[in-house]
Structure 1
């Protein structure tokens, strides 16, 4: 059995991100040891169907015009972990992820309709040396070789059938620890800003300014509609620091709602409106039914108390204690 780590990637025609090549700076790890990952955290999903992967891959080019990518380490991933990554032209094999795979990587293509072709690269029998007792990890990489952007891919980790780990490699790590810090700024890989770098402080400030402007406009528009009687919004709690026109609390609420719905629309296979409400534990129980159960329990308790008193009296009588000095705490 060959203990494969990664196979050479068949590189399609790539977008040239020249500023992302080379080393990550003095003392940092080489770029080819890091993943170029979209700055978005996907929810963990034990299963990732092919149609969900296709939908997400089709949306990635649009998202990548406004969301940058960062060089990161993916190390010892959890079950259900998902990442959107960009495959650089110089990448010959996937970077290390802290997992050793027993089986050789399998590659197959699927015709998913509408002129789209999905390529799947699957590695089974993965385990973290020194941590896992069985090789149960599966890694799948999805990308659209036809009808999509071939450099944008999804990386998903899941559970598979456990396999025995050969003892000679059970504790041999696949990379050196501790992992070195990455000091590279984020970078845009698609659209008009392709190749531009974005530092953390710039990204935070730009996001705050843009969100504040849009939220202020939305709140002012809703305020006008409320005054005209065309829009009803539930009242918000009072705040000592409220602005006369746009409140901080309103901005925070609107910002959270908009961002949550926007990300769910792009990445979630289930929209917010499709999530069913969790039923209350006593939703199907009537008040009369609870009262009847309560009355039954009280009658049973009263019978037990009377039985206890009777037993106590019998015990005292047998012991020769006069009844007039006997007291029982009911």
Structure 2
């Protein structure tokens, strides 16, 4: 069961927290939800999940390639999609794709009443974020030839792909469960903690998007503190072992300083015995993962071949400067001649300082 096969069956990246059911979604709500999803997706990893026979009123936030077809959702649609572009203000443009006359093959659907709308900001947002909404539309008769013909193969394949950040500087970073050797950090708290009463919300956000406002700036700090404590405990354990070795060496050498120093081994730090070499190595790797990620990203995508800096004199043209200098010199000589002629006409002595030396 390959990941590629599961993707063809409809596996896609979804925002982890469920959105509330709603009979209708206004265009303003869709735009607001998509804009806030951009910010929330920078800190919350998306999970690989299926959309399968969604109920009326179901909403989901997906991350899809704009060029790819919409994932298989277990519903057969009897009409092709209709797409329209709607100005959303502020330079934004909202794409609304509508699929009508859908039904679940082999189910209790007596007619094709299902309606699917997809909202995507093609301008002024992130084109890969898609808000999908399933609701009830005008019914239509079901074609007998496809009434019981399934649109996908069951059971659906199970793929253990880790959650992934899809937007921002950490895009592509995977979150592995604790205790696994994957190159990632611990995932954020489960949705139950995010949706708990009194949890943080975004003032003025659309209904059901308050849980998307939950960032986890303290998750990394808590993890680092835990790792620091574990490493300090391990260092204390090593120090006790070194002290025991030194005491044993003094005893073997027949030291005259009395009996060997008693090592206080009251078992207060027995919890450090649970730290294995593998756990320590994994802790160090996770601790430096983000720093190394920044280094590799700069090495891969940074500006490595900068063009040579232009000379500070490149803004000047030597020929223009020489031409202007010659012109100014000619103007000076002309002014000197005119001054000498005026003085000669008035009978004034020549007061020019040229050729005269200053005397003390």
Could you state the TM-score of these two structures normalised by the residue count of structure 1? 0.56
Alignment of 1:178-257 (within 5 A): 178-201=155-178, 207=188, 256-257=196-197
What are the Cα deviations for residues 64-92 of structure 1, in whole angstroms up to 9, with x where unaligned?
Answer: 01111111110000101001011136x52
Task: Label 1:33 to 1:58 Cα distance change in 2 as closer, same or farther (>3 A).
Answer: same
1:55 lines up with 2:55 in the alignment: no
Write the deviation string for residues 112-144 of structure 1: whole angstroms up to 9, x where unpaired.
211111000100000000111110001111000
Q: Distance in 1 between matches of 2:90 and 2:11?
A: 34
Tell me how far apart the structure 2 counterparts of residues 141 and 192 of structure 1 sit (CA, whole Å): 27
SS at match of 2:65: coil
Structure 1: 5+ residue stretches without partners: 1-22, 209-251, 272-330
Alignment of 1:109-124 (within 5 A): 109-124=85-100
Secondary structure (helix, strand or coil) at the match of 1:156 reads strand
Provide the residue aligned with 1:315 in structure 2: none
2:136 is the counterpart of 1:149: no
- Confirm or deny that 1:129 pairs with 2:105: yes
CA RMSD of aligned residues (A): 3.1
Gap change, CA 1:253 and 1:107, over 3 Å in 2: closer
Q: Give yes or no for contact 2:175–2:186 (8 Å, CA) kept in 1.
A: no
Distance change (3 Å), C-alpha of 1:76 and 1:183 = same
Contact 2:175 2:187 in 1 (8 A): no
Corresponding residue number in structure 1 for 2:116: 139
- Counterpart position of 1:216: none
Give structure 2 stretches of 5+ with no counterpart: 211-360
Name the one with the larger strand percent: 1
> By how many angstroms is 1:36 displaced?
1.2
Structure 2 partner of 1:24: 3
Give the corresponding residue for 1:104: 80
Secondary structure of the residue that 1:30 maps to in structure 2? Answer: helix
Q: Taking structure 1 as reference, are residues 122 and 254 closer, same or farther at Cα in structure 2, changes over 3 Å only?
A: closer
Q: Map 1:39-54; keep pairs closer than 5 Å.
A: 39-54=16-31
Higher relative contact order (CA 8 A, sep 6+): 1
User: Alignment length, in residue pairs?
Assistant: 204
Question: Residues 200 and 46 (structure 1 numbering): CA distance in 2 closer, same or farther, change over 3 Å?
Answer: farther
8 Å CA contact 2:91–2:123 kept in 1: the answer is: yes
Residue 270 of structure 1 and its aligned partner are, at CA, apart by 9.4
Q: CA deviation at 1:162?
A: 1.1
Alignment of 1:262-277 (within 5 A): 262=201, 266-268=205-207
Distance (whole Å) between structure 2 residues aligned to residue 151 and residue 253 of structure 1: 27
Whole-angstrom CA distance in 1 between matches of 2:11 and 2:172: 18
> TM-score, normalised on structure 2?
0.51
**1:36 equivalent in structure 2:** 13
Q: Does the CA-based 8 Å contact 1:104-1:123 persist in structure 2?
A: yes
